[in-house]
Chains A and B, each alone.
Chain A
Amino acid sequence: MLKKYKKVIFIISAILIILQGAIFFYFRETLVPGFDILTWPIKVMSIVLLPIYILLGIFHLVILLELLKCIPSQTKNPFLLSLGVVLVTVSGITLLSDITILSDIGKEYLYFSVTNEWYMLFGFTLFHFLSLLYIYLISRRLEVEGIKFTDAIHSGNDQMFLSLYQIVGISGFVGFIVTTLFLFNVVDFLTYQSYLTGLLLMLSALVLLPVFLFISYWVIKFRKIAVETWFDELQSRLTVQGISWAMLFGLLTGALGIFLSIIGVTVNLVYWLLMMFFIELTIISVLVILKTRVK
């Protein structure tokens, strides 16, 4: 389906996103402090935004399901597909963030500066566009024919196993970058530490969402199959090896953390723990991916 209708889906999505951006631009210019009269163009555009979001949400969902279906038969370039799954999931969930930010702007624009909110909205809009463009570009290379997702589990499908760890790896790496930025105070535009910690927890949850969704999809599809057959014996061994190395790393960095606290270096514990968690996820997936190469 994705291959067949990719042009239609992409063209409609691109038009919707451009329209969305134009509406945001108009709103940003019009909705200024002291302007409390909602003119008819503003009302019409607000109504237009709702179907745009619904359509974009449906497209994201359809694309995500189509990408998941491709995983078992994707023998070439499985990383492109895994990256696509992560991008579409995050882009889809940030559609909800857009609505939250718009609602915040609606409540606050009369009294506060909402410049940062507009930047976030434009950033997310660009992200939606780039994610869909990426899917459009890779859809030519997708191998849709072959094994069905539901049949693949019986033989411990290599592509599914690899995709799982690629998704974990991408999420882990992005999470590591985000937490590092917070740990080294690159991100400190908020006044209160508690808000900053809350923001990092929210971003971490967002980063982990593709992993959660992929595992949920896996569990739902294979709920009737015994858990011990989800991975074959080599895959289980690679997983345990990866976890063991990651735990060893955790142990060593834990010792480093104790040493740092002894010599008086203070770090935010939440940031530190989250960063370690994401590094460990990255280590597990990199080790497993490196050993999963099949010629």
Chain B
Amino acid sequence: MVMIMKFKNNLRQIRFDAEEMSQQDLADRVGVSRMTIYSIEKEKYVPSALLAFKIAQIFDKKVEEVFYLETEKDVETNAKKI
């Protein structure tokens, strides 16, 4: 059986915790456009490993603290909790 996994992130929360850093500010610091940050936050785009590391580094966190994988089972459990 193939396990379906979704690429998720806490970027919005982390940005908020970092003195409400704006998308544009983060985009400028990692050298991408605001649209890219927006798409990552909305989980419409999975960033490259390099970009993921850069973003984590900006917030002085490990990559897995910013980005994580969620299995379909987790998704269902989370949905039930909600």
Contacts and interface: CB of A to CB of B under 8 A. Distances in A.
A294 interface: yes
Contacts of B38: 294-295
Interface stretch (A27-35, A195-203, A213-221, A227-235): A227-235
Interface in B47-74: 47-48, 51
Interface string A217-258: 000000000000100111101000000000000000000000
Contact of A229 (B31, B34, B45): B31
B14 interface: no
Nearest to B45: A234
Nearest to A152: B33
Contact of B34 (A154, A233, A237, A294): A294
Contact of A154 (B31, B47, B48): B31
Contacts of A161: 33, 35
A158 B31 contact: no
Contacts of B48: 233
Contacts of A233: 32, 36, 47-48, 51
A163 to B, nearest CB: 13
A33 B31 CA distance: 66
A204 to B, nearest CB: 32
Contacts of B34: 155, 158, 294
A57 interface: no
A157 B32 CA distance: 8
Contacts of A229: 31
Interface in A259-295: 292, 294-295
Contact of A235 (B28, B31, B33, B47): B33
Contacts of A156: 31-33, 36
Given A233-B36, A234-B35, A155 B27 contact: yes
B35 A292 contact: yes
The DSSP consensus for interface residues of chain B is helix
B32 to A, nearest CB: 4
B33 A234 contact: yes
Contacts of B36: 156, 232-235
Interface string B14-47: 0000000000000110011111101100000101
Among B28, B35, B51, chain A packs the most CB atoms within 10 A around the CB of: B35
A228 to B, nearest CB: 11
Contacts of B31: 154-156, 229, 232
A158 B34 CA distance: 7
Contacts of B47: 233
A294 B35 contact: yes
Contacts of A292: 35
A292 B39 CA distance: 9
A240 to B, nearest CB: 13
Contacts of A158: 33-35
Interface string A146-176: 0000000011111001000000000000000
A231 to B, nearest CB: 9
A180 to B, nearest CB: 33
Nearest to B50: A233
B35 A155 contact: no
Contacts of B27: 155
B65 to A, nearest CB: 21
Given A156-B33, A157-B33, 14 more contacts: A155-B33, A155-B34, A156-B32, A156-B36, A161-B35, A229-B31, A232-B32, A233-B32, A233-B47, A233-B51, A235-B33, A292-B35, A294-B34, A294-B35
